[in-house]
Amino acid sequence: MTQSRMTGAGSPDLLLPDVASPVAAPFWSAARAHRFVLQRCAACGHVRWTPSPICPECLGEEAEWDGQPSGGTVWGAATYHRALYPAFERDVPYVVALVELDAGPKMIGRVVDAPVAEDLADTRVSVTYLDVTPEVTLVGFRLDR
Ligand SMILES: [Zn+2]
């Protein structure tokens, strides 16, 4: 499994998101269940990432969490030959991409099965889930083949 590429999982120095954060908890809860949801503004319909209490388009304060298409297109990617954090040292080299989601927003994430140093611009990817602790599932990407 490519999930094993993220061998820093469980390491005490791995920086994990605050999955209980009130503004983002629905995202992390859905990720834990391997479902992809994003905030949609109840006033104007804008779909946003990252989670926020206020819509960046209309400043509306009401939002819903909707299931979203899990595909996207890579805008750009970087191969890390040195670990950003000590917990990632066993994963080097690894690839991180900026992905324009089919749902609209752009999201940064690990591409778990990308060949190192390959130009990934315009490559189609899909969301994948990285269960890193019993409580935390990260969202990354996998190449569409
Ligand atoms: Zn809005």
Distance in Å, CA 49 to ligand 1 centroid: 13
- Whether 58 and 80 map to the same domain: the answer is no
Ligand 1 centroid – CA 65 distance (Å): 13
Q: Over range 14-37, report the average pLDDT.
A: 93
pLDDT of residue 2: 36
> Long-range contacts made by residues 53-62, C-beta under 8 angstroms, separation at least 24?
53/23
Question: Is residue 46 in some structural domain?
Answer: yes
Q: Which domain holds residue 48?
A: 19-68
Residues 6+ apart with CB under 8 A from 59: none
Same domain flag for 81 and 142: yes
Which one of 28, 48, 68 terminates a domain? 68
On whether both 137 and 83 belong to a single domain, the answer is: yes
Is residue 6's pLDDT more than 70? no
Query: Is residue 30 one of the residues assigned to a domain?
Result: yes
Look at residue 57 in the predicted model and tell me its pLDDT.
98
Which whole number is the average pLDDT over 9-14?
54
Residue 88 has what pLDDT?
82
Cα separation, 86 vs 96, whole angstroms? 16
**Mean per-residue pLDDT, 45-59:** 97
Within a domain: residue 6?
no
Give yes or no for residue 22 having a pLDDT over 90.
yes
Structure tokens at 4: 């094993």
Residue 69 Cα distances to 23, 25, 62, angstroms: 21, 19, 22
Distance 38 CA to ligand 1 centre (A): 13
Q: How far is the CA of 39 from the centre of ligand 1 (A)?
A: 10
122 alpha carbon – ligand 1 mean position (Å): 28
Name the pTM for this structure.
Answer: 0.86
- Nearby residues for ligand 1 (ion, Cβ within 5 Å): 41, 43-44, 46, 55, 57-58, 60
The string of pLDDT tens digits covering residues 73-125 is 999 999 999 988 888 888 899 999 999 999 999 999 999 998 876 789 999 99
pLDDT bracket for residue 14 (50, 70, 90): low
